[in-house]
Structures are given as structure tokens and as C-alpha cells.
Amino acid sequence: MATYTLEFEKPILELETKIQELKQFAEVEKVDFSAEVTRLERKVARLQEEIFANLTPWQRTQIARHPTRPYAMDYIRLMLTDFIELHGDRAFSDDKAIVGGLARLDGMALVVIGHQKGRDTKEKLARNFAMANPEGYRKALRLMKLAEKFGKPVLTLVDTPGAYPGIGAEERGQAEAIARNLLEMSELRVPIVVAITGEGGSGGALGIAVGDVVYMLEYAIYSVISPEGCASILWRDPAKAPEAAAAMGITAQTLKRLNLIDEIVPEPVGGAHRNQQEMVTTLKGFLVKAFERLNRVPVEELLEQRYQKFRRMGVFEEG
């Protein structure tokens, strides 16, 4: 059971707490409450289905940011084997907002790269809330070029509010670092699979999100700016973030309809934070399938397909 509860989840939590209390009381007092427990469990299932079938974009944003949602290192630990983390960009420092290294997925060797958020205050500060500096994107590029050198596919796990906007980051070439990654990933001569697992925030997400296949978890978000940032610009009021989220088209369902992502990965009932192992198992199935297909495609054909994939995005009219 999640220890952090969103406002719209509270009716579910109240019923789950009551079920737990009944089970404990029945065990202590040796009383049979199985019929009542079954009735309440069915009620919880119906309530979850009703609530999560009608989530607003803002509520989906809250789920994407849930503090107990699995992060990159959780997926690496539960989904991959033989992980060896590699550090540093060989130019400035090791940015802990982006992690990466060598690993195996179902026995297949690959390079994995992902944004990493923190669980507690100390780790959040150390990871800079998954907001990478230029050295983070340069580390990611170093690992991608290593993958290319040895002919290994690349997996990226995207979950960031955005690239770090500090003065130091700008002085060290934040925009150039992200732009360089976009260029290099578009031409990388190995398969790339991207999974947007939480927040896909602006250029911070795009810096590791150019892929042959782009998956997006059911309750993840992906946008050019956060709802709060959009609301601050349009209405000068970040409290209008729910309205901004609704207008921006940031949900997986909207992005799939616009062909900006390839497929939506279903989450456990209630979101990935409710059952991390189930989420990992589901995502792993999607990834294995994608890599099996991409590894059979000749390199030149792979690059052409990647080029055409991004050329097809968007709609325009010639005047």
C-alpha cells in the first residue's frame, strides 16, 4: 500500500484501511469476516476502475510525479542483470541526475541510460531532482557512443521535470549539450528504445529521448513545459496548472493519437507506484519485443526508418 496518497486516491485508501483493520481484528478475535472483506475488496476494485478511468490530465500529472513511483535505478535493479554503472563525462564531472552503464536485458547486452530522482531529501539534492546539467547529457552521449562502438543497443528511461536551468549549466553549454545529443542520437548506428516512465519535461527529456521506438507509461506525461510553467506564462498564475495540463495535450493517450509516441505501456491498477514489480514485468515485455525486432533491421535501414519517423511528426500546410 502506498504511504503517500493523492487527494483523489483517499476514498480508495479509506476502504483499504478498513479491510486491513477487519483482517487484523478477525485474526486476533478469531472471527470470520471473510464475506465482509470480499465485499469491500470488490468495492475497492469498482472504485479504482471508476476513478482511474476518468482521470484529468492534472491528476495524471500527479501520478507521474508520485514520490513512490519506480525510478530508473528501480527498473535497472528489477528488470536488468549484470549492471555496471559508468560515471563522468570525461570533461567536467559526474552528474548524478543521469545514471547509466552496461547491463543485460533478458540475456541481451545493452547500454542503459536514465534520469534518476531521489527518495529522501539528501538523495533529491544529490540527484538535483533529476534535472541534469550539461555534463549529464555529455555523459549520456559518451555511453551512447560506447554502445555504438561495440554494436550494443541503447535503452533510455526518461523521468525529469526538465534540464537544470542554473547559471552554471548555461555557462557550460546546456543548450549545446542537448542539441548535440539530438543530432548524435538521430545518427547513432545501433537500435535505441526510449521509455518515458514519469515526467518527460522539455529539452531535459528530449536529450535522451530520440529513439527508434518511444514507449510511454500509461500515466506518464510528456511536454515542452510543465503545467505550472505554462500557467505562469499564460495566466501569470501557477495555480491554474490544472487548466494548463488540460490544454497542453501532455498525456500518453493524446500523444499516441498525435503519433508522437509509438505505444502506451499499461500500468497496474492505481499506477506504477501501487505495484512496482508488475510494472517492471510489463515494461520488460515491451522492451524485449522491441529490441528483438530492431536487432534484425540492417543499420542503414534502421537509420532511414528513424529519420522518416521524426519527419512524419506534426501537421503543416503550405501557403
- pLDDT digit string, tens, across residues 77-96: 999 999 999 999 999 999 99
pLDDT recorded at residue 164: 96
Query: Cell numbers 533478458 label which residue?
Result: 106
The pLDDT tens digits of the residues spanning 231-245 come to 999 999 999 999 999
Report the percentage of the chain scoring pLDDT > 70: 99
pLDDT digits (tens, 9 = 90+) for 56-67: 999 999 999 999
318 vs 91 pLDDT, higher one? 91
Task: Give the Cα-Cα-Cα angle 196, 256, 184 (nearest 5 degrees).
Answer: 50
Query: Mean pLDDT across the stretch 152-174?
Result: 97
What is the bridge-based pairing of β-strands 192-201 and 154-160?
A: parallel
What are the residue boundaries of the structural domains of the chain, listed by start?
7-54, 61-311
The cell for 78 is 528489477
Q: What is the pLDDT of residue 131?
A: 96
Q: 1 pLDDT exceeds 70?
A: no
Q: What is the pLDDT of residue 37?
A: 76
Residues 253 and 52: beta-carbon distance below 8 Å? no
What is the structure's pLDDT at 2? 45
- Distance separating alpha carbons of residues 209 and 204, to the nearest angstrom: 9
Any residues with CB less than 8 A from the CB of 112 and at least 6 apart, and which? 76, 80, 83, 100, 101, 102, 103, 154, 155, 156, 157
> Per residue in 248-300, pLDDT tens?
999 999 999 999 999 999 999 889 998 999 999 999 999 999 999 999 999 99
Q: What are phi and psi of 109, to 5 degrees?
A: -70, 135
Specify the pLDDT at position 159: 97
* CB 117, CB 162: distance < 8 Å: no
In the CATH scheme, what architecture does the domain 61-311 have? Alpha-Beta Complex (3.90)
Whether residue 43 has pLDDT greater than 90:
no
3-state DSSP helix/strand/coil % of the chain, to nearest 5: 50, 15, 30
For CA atoms 132, 133, 135, 138, the dihedral sign is positive
Task: Evaluate whether 288 touches 282 at the Cβ level (below 8 Å).
Answer: no
Q: Check if the beta carbon of residue 198 is closer than 8 Å to that of residue 170.
A: no
Mean pLDDT (the chain, rounded): 93
DSSP string across 5-74: --GGGHHHHHHHHHHHHHHHHHHHHT---HHHHHHHHHHHHHHHHHHHTS--HHHHHHHHT-TTS--HHH
